[in-house]
Amino acid sequence: MTAYDMAKRVFAKEGIDTEKALNTLANIPVSVHCWQGDDVIGLDGAGSLSGGIQTTGNYPGRARNFEELKADIREAFSLMPGKLRLNLHASYAILNGEKVDRNAYRPEHFTPWVEFAKELDLDGIDFNPTMFSHPMVKGGLTLSSPDDEVRKFWVDHCISCLKIAEYFAAETGSHCMVNIWIPDGFKDVPADRLTPRLRLKDSLDKILSCGYNRDKVTVAVESKVFGIGVESYTVGSNEFYQNYAAKNDICCLLDNGHYHPLEYVSDKIPALLAFYDKLALHVTRGVRWDSDHVVILDDELKEIAKEIVRNNAIGKVMIGLDYFDASINRLSAWVTGQRSMQKALLQALLTPHDKLRKLQDDGDFTLLMIEQERIKDLPFFAVWEEYLKRQGKQEEYYPEIRKYEKEELSKR
């Protein structure tokens, strides 16, 4: 008997069908961010990283251009099991020397990415307006700026992103999620907290009224508690966006680095599922702040996956990754984070939720605790190994990455 055969029996005793879990896992798309490969610098050369976010480390081999980034994604994706989407930022436009600014980007600036997504047979492409690292971010403000010209520039940018998203959807035959995140906020105690939010509301209204295809394009808004240099006030706060999204029938994106350290996105998922058909995630790992460390299989990741699986929210919760570590091999960062996400989902799929829920409803919290602890030792790894085998992947991926590092990254 193989380890998997044995594990299959163990899980069957718990009332879990491992075959079903493996098939389900293979069909949950994870949207992998392109920006791990180049430290969020982008390809449109508009400016160095700003917006209160930061990549730390200088591990050699950062992708410096489109070809290198594509090569790295190709390599990293080849080591990732499961269904993959590519999450792009507008700053990854391929301009080929054309003098065009972000308020006027067009679908053709992303045609090479579409070709690439087809080459890799990806499930789809997701998209993000890039409202940082650009001279039109004035005083740290974009959609909430008091300057009409600045606001207009970024409204136009978002509208052009929606058009590009429609193009992605048409080309890939899959929906496209457009996530709006702005860095707007203040370092110190503001004199007016309301007006910037009203301006943001007005800008969002203008963007949403451009007439995009709501069946193909899902707009999400991503809140945040604070950023570096914007510690005292964030215009796009959690309460602001949740209310805006609810009233305008769009979607919330929860980034688990964007809350106070003792607030958990795993707890917010069910709260939102009570009101929304869809929600989106940026799965990251904040260490003391929104540090965007590589996602690992920690308790919060496991809880997040459980909330998706046990609430029948696969497909309702769009899973995206968002981290950037420049202190280790960037491909390894990509692969480790994506695999951790998949592992957490697999563990959630192999958990007897109905049994546990019943214990909660019966008020048997003693047995619930015993069971939740016991389940931690079930042979998940044997099922994971089987999953990798069926996906044509190896458990060990470092040798391949080392080889790529020697042959490719070390020459940069």
40 binds ligand RNT (CB under 6 A): yes
Q: Which is nearer to ligand RNT, 76 or 178 (CB)?
A: 178
| Distance in Å, CB of 40 to ligand RNT, minimum | 5
Give the DSSP letter string of 205-224: HHHHTT---TTTEEEEEE--
Of 109, 224, 268, 278, the active-site residue reads 224
CA 73 vs CA 69, 140, 196, 334, 342: distances in Å: 6, 31, 38, 9, 18
| Distance in Å, CB of 53 to ligand RNT, minimum | 5
Is position 224 annotated as part of the catalytic site?
yes
Q: Which is nearer to ligand RNT, 128 or 342 (CB)?
A: 128
282 binds ligand RNT (CB under 6 A): yes
Residue 10 CB neighbour total at 10 angstroms:
15
376 by Cβ neighbours in 10 Å (0-12 / 13-18 / 19+) ranks as exposed
| Distance in Å, CB of 128 to ligand RNT, minimum | 5
Of 113, 181, 334, 384, the active-site residue reads 181
Of 222, 307, 325, 386, the active-site residue reads 222
Closest among 213, 309, 215, 225 to 270, alpha carbons compared: 309
Q: Which is nearer to ligand RNT, 282 or 293 (CB)?
A: 282
Is position 222 annotated as part of the catalytic site?
yes
Closest among 200, 215, 134, 131 to 170, alpha carbons compared: 215
Phi, psi of 283 (to 5 degrees): -85, 125
Number of residues that bind ligand RNT (CB under 6 A): 11
Applying CB under 6 A, which of residues 123, 171, 222, 325 lies at the interface with ligand RNT? Answer: 222
Alpha helices by DSSP H, 125-193 = 148-172
| Residue 174 binds which entry of ligand RNT, Zn ion, none, CB below 5-8 Å type-dependent | none
141 binds ligand RNT (CB under 6 A): no
Angle between helices 148-172 and 111-119 (to 10 degrees): 30
CA 89 vs CA 129, 130, 195, 248, 335: distances in Å: 6, 6, 28, 24, 19
Applying CB under 6 A, which of residues 39, 255, 325, 405 lies at the interface with ligand RNT? Answer: 255
Is position 255 annotated as part of the catalytic site?
yes
Is position 282 annotated as part of the catalytic site?
yes
Q: Facing residues of 32 across strands? A: 86
User: What is the largest distance, in Å, between two alpha-carbon atoms of the chain?
Assistant: 70
53 binds ligand RNT (CB under 6 A): yes
| Distance in Å, CB of 253 to Zn ion, minimum | 7
For strands 84-89 and 176-180, give the pairing.
unpaired
Q: Which is nearer to ligand RNT, 32 or 346 (CB)?
A: 32
Of 8, 282, 302, 306, the active-site residue reads 282
255 binds Zn ion (CB under 5 A): yes
Of 44, 123, 292, 405, the active-site residue reads 292
Considering only residues 310 to 329 of the shown chain, the ones binding Zn ion according to CB under 5 A are 322
Q: 């799929």: which residue's tokens?
A: 349
- From residue 167 to residue 186, the character string flagging contacts with ligand RNT as x (rule: CB under 6 A) and all else as - is --------------x-----
Give the DSSP letter string of 343-387: HHHHHHHTS-HHHHHHHHHTT-HHHHHHHHHHHTTS-HHHHHHHH
Applying CB under 6 A, which of residues 85, 224, 330, 343 lies at the interface with ligand RNT? Answer: 224
| Distance in Å, CB of 280 to ligand RNT, minimum | 10
**What is the three-class DSSP state of 86?**
strand
Closest among 25, 102, 19 to 339, alpha carbons compared: 25
CA 196 vs CA 72, 185, 186, 188: distances in Å: 40, 9, 11, 15
Query: For residue 57, which amino acid is it?
Result: G
Is position 292 annotated as part of the catalytic site?
yes
Q: Which is nearer to ligand RNT, 8 or 62 (CB)?
A: 62
128 binds ligand RNT (CB under 6 A): yes
Applying CB under 6 A, which of residues 11, 35, 110, 153 lies at the interface with ligand RNT? Answer: 35
Of 258, 268, 302, 306, the active-site residue reads 258
CA–CA separation, 396 and 215 (whole Å): 40
For Zn ion, the binding residues (CB under 5 A) are 255, 282, 322
For ligand RNT, the binding residues (CB under 6 A) are 35, 40, 53, 128, 181, 222, 224, 255, 282, 290, 322
Catalytic positions = 181, 222, 224, 255, 258, 282, 290, 292, 322
